[in-house]
Chain A
Amino acid sequence: MAFLDNSGDIILDAVLTDSGRRRLARGDGSFKIAKFALGDTEINYRLYNPNHASGSAYFDLQILQSPVLEAFTDPRSDMHHKLMSISRNDFLHLPILEIFENSGASSERDTTTNSFLVAVDSETEEAIGDFKGLIYGETTDSASSSKIIIDQGTDTNGSPGPTVDLSPSLRETQYQVEIDNRFGSIYNAAGTRLQSPSFVSEAQVATYYFSLRGNRMVQKITEVGAADSSINGPRGSRLMMKIGASLRLNGSTGLFTRLGGTSTVNSISVYHIDSTVRVTGVTTGYSIDIPVRFIKKV
């Protein structure tokens, strides 16, 4: 009887991320690993072929051959997509996050850049005026300012439709919002800054958490009309927010000239920096990157 092959090493070597190293260097006990998550960033599930002629053993052959990259030390570059634990195995749909664009709710993107525009000072706000997709980054409570609305739910193309309740186990109750801390911070839909970031990473990415039971930035979607949400199926919760500009962008063009360029908005010449705001459902792990352009009148 032959020996079993025991050449495989089942210990995985971990590398510290920038945040991990910083916490370790701080020496204040903040480096404490409390939980783990699993990721599958390299996997393209659309390679799954349930119709393979050779049978089920070959359905995921291409997926299993996917090469795996070494670990990144930038915490924002790894674990883009997490695996989820759901006790039920019979779900055919999973919830997603979508930008809800609605002119009535002033939540549309600029059609030229396909992004939300954030005017970083009042001079830019006044010069451009009431413009689709323009968020007022200084006068955040202005009624003319746009806002960002993210809807969560299972988009089933209407079968089942929005009148069907989303399974409680799939309903998002908390959102993680990441934004470049050099550029701006997160405000509620009324234009009030309700909280500071939970932490700011080495790469200057600020992370906020907003909960359903917290400060009303997250609400359950109760409307079932087709125009009431971007989700055409059972609906979960909604995150509404604005972006306030940082003092650095408000008072200086330094970052614009270093990281951005110039363009025209509503016939006004502006400096711009393109960035993204990432919204992740803490419960379901699904994330969406929202394109944001910070602008300042030349």
Chain B
Amino acid sequence: MSTTFKSLRGDDATTTRTLLHESIPITGSILSGTYGGDTVALGSEPHIKTYSHGMFESVFDYPYLSSSANHIFDITAGYASTSALSGASNTQNTKKINIYNQMAQVLMGFDETGSVRIFDEDGDISGGGTKLKECYFVNFSRLLTKDEIKKGTFEMELMTTDGFSEATGVGSLERIKITDFSGSDGYFVNSPAGEYGVLFATASNGATVLAANQYYKVGLLFYQAGVAVISGSVFSDSDDGGILHTGKGTVTFSPAGASVTGFNTITSSTNNVMADNLRNRLYNIQFNNTTELNSTIYFCRVNNNEFNYSANPTYLSTSADGPSAIVVKDGDAVRDPHSYITTVGLYSADNELLAVAKVSEPLKKDPSNELTLRVRLDY
């Protein structure tokens, strides 16, 4: 009996899990500069989408009206209602509190009394300690983070002297670098939104940028949620409760000559302006994402006496021996038949082709050899 199919037994398939990582570099000039430059006002660039509700700002990698544009992240800012910055006369005061509470309840959850937990600087919620009450939130798109941000790979560099300008460039600007360097082996699992690590800041360019030569805890990074919570302290000097060196002073955001500086600008600025301020100070962001591939591997076992003939029309000759003569036998019954494998087809029980795998070059099959082709199907 000849046959063209071979049934797979129960032990001919197994499942595996593979983690795939991609490097995601986001250059600061894409965020502010490339699509606006010095001629377009900050916030009016074509790759920045703002909304009438003013709760957040979306950043694209290309003018967003183009179908080529990809949404890369959203920026917003907020503070807790218990923050010293909270005040009824503030611009968008309610929205900023709402934003903070929304992010906190999603990312930190609720305590035993049903109150929203405030972001904790070191992740030790039960131990008390310093809370992050004034924050930027950078919500990365699923397109970039895929299943999660790879722990220990996140870096964000912020300019602390001035914002990006095409005219002056960024070469000499002082910068700090925020990383989750301890994330690969030191992360927390007490969040309802998955695992998170602490973000640390250190000087990256310029002398005496920080108040002290140390790592400062300046935020939290939620790996599966793809959200970076950045403390407002990164833009204030130590006299104003921040991490920058006193001699450098607190960062002056736009508008120029504002009476308040650093993150405190939030009291008189809309969320869009706050988002623009951060975007204009971003020198670089990079991280690796993770995609979890679940695969089934089918072991297609080809025994020595199987698949040695072919139904390929060219397998048969048009010679004097008739149109059914096998070419590779060349009229010699003793010579072994053989065939060449280029494709593996996986079929349902009713012979419908469900998946196809190709080999890179033809594999010779004859009665003297056996093959096990491992065919992987990813989900």
CB of B308 within 8 A of CB of A86, answer yes
Q: Which residues of B lie under 8 Å from residue A45 when comparing CB positions? A: 310, 312, 314-315, 327-328
- The CA-CA distance from A87 to B376 in the complex, in Å, is 29
Q: Say yes or no for B365: interface residue by CB 8 A criterion.
A: yes
Q: Say yes or no for B359: interface residue by CB 8 A criterion.
A: yes
CB of B327 within 8 A of CB of A48, answer yes
B373 to chain A, nearest CB (A): 6
CB of B342 within 8 A of CB of A169, answer no
Q: List 16 A-B contacts (CB under 8 A).
A: A13-B376, A20-B346, A23-B348, A33-B346, A33-B377, A43-B342, A48-B327, A64-B362, A68-B342, A79-B343, A83-B307, A92-B326, A96-B316, A155-B323, A157-B320, A281-B311
Given contacts A14-B346, A83-B339, A96-B324, 16 further A-B pairs with CB under 8 A are: A12-B357, A12-B374, A14-B344, A33-B296, A35-B8, A35-B351, A40-B342, A41-B342, A43-B340, A45-B328, A68-B358, A70-B358, A71-B358, A84-B309, A86-B309, A94-B324
Q: Which of B129-137, B150-158, B166-174, B329-337 forms part of the interface with chain A?
A: B329-337
- The CA-CA distance from A273 to B377 in the complex, in Å, is 38
Q: State how many residues of chain B have any CB contact under 8 Å with chain A.
A: 76
Given A14-B344, A86-B309, A156-B324, A282 and B376 contact (CB-CB distance below 8 Å): no
Q: Say yes or no for A44: interface residue by CB 8 A criterion.
A: yes
Q: Which residues of A lie under 8 Å from residue B6 when comparing CB positions? A: 35-37, 85
- The CA-CA distance from A70 to B343 in the complex, in Å, is 9
CB of A48 within 8 A of CB of B328, answer yes
Q: Which residues of A lie under 8 Å from residue B342 when comparing CB positions? A: 39-43, 66, 68
- The CA-CA distance from A19 to B317 in the complex, in Å, is 34
Q: Which residues of B lie under 8 Å from residue A233 when comparing CB positions? A: 322, 324
Instruction: Give chain A's interface residue range (CB within 8 Å of chain B).
Output: 35 or more
Q: Which residues of B lie under 8 Å from residue A281 when comparing CB positions? A: 311
B354 to chain A, nearest CB (A): 4
Q: Which residues of B lie under 8 Å from residue A31 when comparing CB positions? A: 348, 354
Interface of A is mostly: loop
CB of A286 within 8 A of CB of B311, answer yes
Using a CB-CB cutoff of 8 Å, which residues 19-36 of chain A contact chain B? 19-20, 23, 30-36
CB of B349 within 8 A of CB of A35, answer yes
Q: Say yes or no for B34: interface residue by CB 8 A criterion.
A: no
Q: Say yes or no for A102: interface residue by CB 8 A criterion.
A: no
- The CA-CA distance from A36 to B299 in the complex, in Å, is 10
Q: Say yes or no for A124: interface residue by CB 8 A criterion.
A: no
CB of B348 within 8 A of CB of A33, answer yes
Q: Which residues of A lie under 8 Å from residue B106 when comparing CB positions? A: none
Chain A 86-106 interface mask (CB, 8 Å, partner B; 1/0) = 110111111110000000000
CB of B321 within 8 A of CB of A92, answer yes
Q: Say yes or no for A81: interface residue by CB 8 A criterion.
A: yes
Query: CB < 8 Å: which of B326, B340, B356, B377 contacts A91?
Result: B326
